[in-house]
Structure 1
Amino acid sequence: MKRSWPAVLLIAGLSLSAAAQDRSKKAYELMYEDIQLLKIQTQRIEKKIDQAGADLKGLGDIVRDLAAQFKDFRIFQARNQEGWSEIPGQVRSIQEQLAQIENRLLQLAADLESAKTPAGETTAAPEAGGKPKPEEKAGAARKPAAEPPAATVPPSGLSAQEAYQAAMADFSKGNLDLAVDGFALYREQFGASPLADNALYMIGECRFSQRKFPAAIEAFDDLILTYPMSDKIAAAYLKKGFALAEMKKKTEALAVLRLLLSKYPLEEEARQAQQKIKELQEAP
């Protein structure tokens, strides 16, 4: 029985050796599988890298094209910049010429209006060939020389702001004649005030509210001629167009309102002018 132990040990050793070989084999198989997976993943990464490279190349081509286009644009801009810089000056010159023509037309209209003044309103001249009567001659000799009109003295303690507010108060209360007198007196006393143009515009507003449209137009024309840089110019054109429309002068009203649109297209008055033009065009 003692002689069988070496055989048992040999068998056990062989078994352990076989088991160790099986484990090693399985370990190798697992490593092989891992290596194959890594190869597959590496191939996929390489494909993605190749695709990204192609995309980058395409982007590079696009960037180069854009750079070339931008360069061409800069060259074009440089060639035409001088011409572009002259355009605003030309536009201003045209606008100034139009303003001068308009002012001239308004002046001619005023001259024509004054030429239509009835002869009875002017000072009567002596009859042709007639001699003054003795009593008239004596009276003329005794009549003292005409004194120059006294200068208007501002009311005591009334500042420019207070005078303007007083006239505005009369306008708000509907005392339009008083408001006109107040604004006219304000212009006489404070002609250098920043609100002098507003006062003239308000005179036109008062006359418009009184439906005295010729007087309103006269005030608005005076504003346009006297204060060409006033912030009330657009409003003056608008109300002048409205006044002409009220006087049934459709053609003149449309001309004034269209002039407003061309000169002040971004002002609120331009929107109102467009509405009025539409109404006038649709009217019979």
Structure 2
Amino acid sequence: MRTLGVLFTAAALAATLAGCATRRDVVTIDTRLSEIEMRESEERRRREEFAKAREANEAAIRQMAASLRAQMDELRDELRVLRGRVEEIEYAQKQARGGGAEAGGGSPPREDRLQRLEESAQQLAQRVGRLEEHLKLDSPAAAAKPESRIRPESAAVPTEQELYSRAKQFFDQGNMPQARRSFEELLQRYPRSDNADNAQFWIAETFFREKAYEKAILEYQKVIEKYPKGNKVPAALLKQGHAFLALGDKVNSRLLFEEVIRKHPNTAEARTAAEKLKEIR
């Protein structure tokens, strides 16, 4: 009787320890995911601050460019006035030379004034030239070129299948940033698409291919949480395990491989997970 009691106690203790181990495994993965999410949030905050600073700098540059263009217009007007006065004096000189040669020739004071005006006009032209060079403008018409930056949107909205095919083509070509943008556009335009879970999975894959493993883990998690009944959940769990393994975290990768086998047996992902477990044990 005493032997049976001891066995029962041992069995109860083993079950308790197994339960504690399972809970501890879950806590370990949740803790690591929380750490990654915190780092991702901090990185997002830094990107937003950088974007705000860049916008402020661009606004300041645009304001300075507008001020320089205004100065340039004023200088052009002043230059035109000076050139007009030079022409008037030259004309008056010709008239004086033609009508009063017998009086002893031209007028030195008027010639000195003409020379000063010509020098002023030349200096103004040089200033205008420097401003144009600074603004990378050849003429006033060139200043209007930045206004044409806005590109009109295409009138035809692509279908979800067109977006998916285009994004997958970018992915197959190895253009991960463009593929990611296209998959994100699909999710934005067609959030209830039948391809939504696949698109989210491929977004995660683009980060995995770029070796941005922590970002990939978070994107795979979206597949698991947003599309729990989708056919990409086993693959997302498996790839999370691969990502943790690439980060050198064998504990969490092992837990995820075991979860694939436990929750999705008789699948290709489960067989792959079993092989990976043999490698890391």
Normalised to the residue count of structure 2, the TM-score between the two structures is 0.49
Greater fraction helix: 2
Q: State the structure with bigger RCO (CA 8 A, min sep 6), 1 or 2.
A: 2
Normalised to the residue count of structure 1, the TM-score between the two structures is 0.48
